[in-house]
């Protein structure tokens, strides 16, 4: 059972910008690793994020791949989905880090992406070349967004496997199209400062694509973005994020929002697939994870701040959500992987994933 903590943490982020609140909890970092020059016929297979992280120089297994077509075009293939054609100027995000393939128009035997990468260290944006003939070429910028926690984050949980935007996705959204073009140009021309500019552009592109996804949601959609668009759920989320360590109950939260308990519970169950207090417990654990990573506070202090009666209760709840006890999770985030874990710092980039 979660009780009101005796010691309150720092003042939480303002409730008026819930998206920034959640994005901050992800510790999102953009990384652009290589520009691929493919000549027909060609095909490349990329594994899922956990396996891919062992090939790339990341400390986290939670990575979101993205691709930008700088020139030419290609097919993107996901399991149990129709292939999607990516034209010049298109960008795609794979929020769940699913295994996927990229290929040209002509048939070719796929090559594992790890077999195309040189041995580390990598000091700059890599240029990878692949293809079996003299056909048309395509240039694709391949990058990744790293975040602390991928599978259970409120933002990512209900997103589709693929987010695809192009120059004509939204006629009025010239800013996103310009950002995609800018990122492609930076990776292609490798101007001074590109290594620092590209990760920032990737992060901005991610946020803008999420905004576009939220605006395009149908009325019958579910998930965090659908909850944000619902006035009752959004008001409740605003209160929970503004004061996550208050002694909330469904009755008090419903009173603050101005609806009945049953209406509030129904909105959360339908849109977020969980009761309001379950969402709050998860958000408190997200904040506790931030404290573990960003401070040297003892686990007991963080457990107290998160409102748990004991360190043992906090440890059990934390392990259920993140897969590891708090101390082990903290060591892993700092780059000290437990014995038997294949960290990104020890995997060979030259081996196939």
Looking at residue 17, its pLDDT comes to 76
Backbone φ and ψ for 154, nearest 5 degrees, come out as: -55, -35
Looking at the structure, tell me whether residues 116 and 250 fall in a common domain: no
Across the range 21-26, mean pLDDT stands at: 70
pTM: 0.74
Q: Which residues contact 135 (CB under 8 A, 6 or more apart)?
A: 39, 40, 41, 104, 106
Poorest-pLDDT segment among 12-26, 250-264, 283-297:
12-26
pLDDT(318) > 80: yes
Is residue 213 a contact partner of residue 159, using CB atoms and an 8 Å limit? yes
CA–CA dist 271, 233 (Å, integer): 8
Looking at the structure, tell me whether residues 207 and 246 fall in a common domain: no
76 within some domain: yes
289 within some domain: yes
Which has more confidence, 171 or 98?
A: 98
Looking at the structure, tell me whether residues 38 and 71 fall in a common domain: yes
Q: What is the DSSP string of 145-163?
A: EE-S--TT-TTTTTS-S-E
Across the range 265-277, mean pLDDT stands at: 94
242 within some domain: yes
Looking at residue 345, its pLDDT comes to 31
238 within some domain: yes
1 within some domain: no
351 within some domain: no
Poorest-pLDDT segment among 17-26, 132-141, 289-298, 335-344:
335-344
Looking at the structure, tell me whether residues 64 and 210 fall in a common domain: yes
Summary mean pLDDT of the chain: 80
Across the range 169-183, mean pLDDT stands at: 71
Looking at the structure, tell me whether residues 149 and 285 fall in a common domain: no
Poorest-pLDDT segment among 127-131, 146-150, 270-274:
146-150
2 within some domain: no
Q: Would you place residue 173 in the very low, low, confident or very high pLDDT band (cuts 50, 70, 90)?
A: low
pLDDT(346) > 80: no
Looking at residue 4, its pLDDT comes to 36
Is residue 242 a contact partner of residue 15, using CB atoms and an 8 Å limit? yes
List, for residues 60-116, the tens digit of each pLDDT value. Answer: 667 889 999 999 999 999 998 999 999 998 999 998 889 999 999 988 899 998 888
Domain boundary among 170, 197, 215: 215
Looking at residue 220, its pLDDT comes to 85
Mean pLDDT comparison of 3-17, 269-283, 320-334, 336-350, highest-scoring range: 269-283
CA–CA dist 189, 192 (Å, integer): 9
Looking at the structure, tell me whether residues 192 and 253 fall in a common domain: no
Q: Would you place residue 344 in the very low, low, confident or very high pLDDT band (cuts 50, 70, 90)?
A: very low
Looking at residue 328, its pLDDT comes to 92
Looking at the structure, tell me whether residues 194 and 325 fall in a common domain: no
Q: Which domain holds residue 311?
A: 223-333
**Domain containing residue 271: CATH number:** 1.10.10.60
Looking at residue 5, its pLDDT comes to 36
């Amino acid at each position: 059972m979660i009780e009101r903590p005796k010691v309150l943490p720092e003042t939480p982020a303002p409730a008026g910008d819930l998206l920034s609140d959640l994005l901050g909890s992800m510790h999102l970092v953009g990384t652009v690793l290589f520009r691929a020059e493919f000549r027909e016929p060609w095909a490349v297979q990329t594994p899922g994020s956990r396996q891919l992280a062992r090939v790339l120089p990341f400390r986290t297994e939670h990575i979101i791949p993205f691709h930008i077509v700088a020139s030419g075009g290609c097919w993107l293939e996901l399991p149990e989905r129709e292939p999607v054609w990516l034209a010049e100027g298109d960008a795609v995000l794979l929020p769940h880090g699913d295994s996927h393939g990229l290929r040209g128009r002509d048939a070719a035997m796929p090559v594992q992406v790890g077999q195309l990468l040189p041995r580390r260290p990598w000091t700059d944006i890599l240029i990878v070349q692949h293809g079996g003939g003299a056909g048309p070429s395509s240039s694709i910028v391949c990058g990744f967004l790293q975040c602390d926690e991928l599978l259970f984050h409120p933002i990512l949980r209900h997103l589709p496997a693929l987010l695809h935007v192009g120059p004509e996705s939204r006629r009025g959204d010239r800013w996103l199209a310009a950002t995609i073009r800018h990122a492609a140009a930076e990776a292609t021309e490798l101007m001074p400062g590109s290594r620092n500019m590209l990760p920032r552009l990737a992060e901005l592109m991610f946020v803008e694509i999420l905004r576009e996804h939220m605006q395009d949601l149908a009325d019958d959609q579910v998930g965090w973005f659908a909850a944000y668009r619902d006035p009752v759920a959004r008001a409740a989320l605003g209160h929970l994020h503004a004061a996550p360590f208050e002694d909330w109950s469904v009755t008090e939260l419903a009173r603050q929002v101005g609806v009945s308990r049953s209406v509030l519970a129904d909105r959360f169950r339908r849109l977020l697939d969980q009761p309001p207090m379950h969402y709050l417990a998860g958000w408190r654990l997200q904040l506790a994870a931030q404290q573990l990573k960003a401070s040297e506070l003892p686990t007991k202090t963080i457990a107290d701040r998160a409102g748990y009666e004991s360190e043992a209760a906090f440890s059990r709840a934390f392990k259920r959500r993140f897969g590891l006890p708090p101390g082990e999770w903290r060591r892993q985030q700092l780059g000290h992987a437990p014995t038997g874990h294949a960290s990104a710092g020890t995997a060979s980039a030259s081996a196939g994933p």
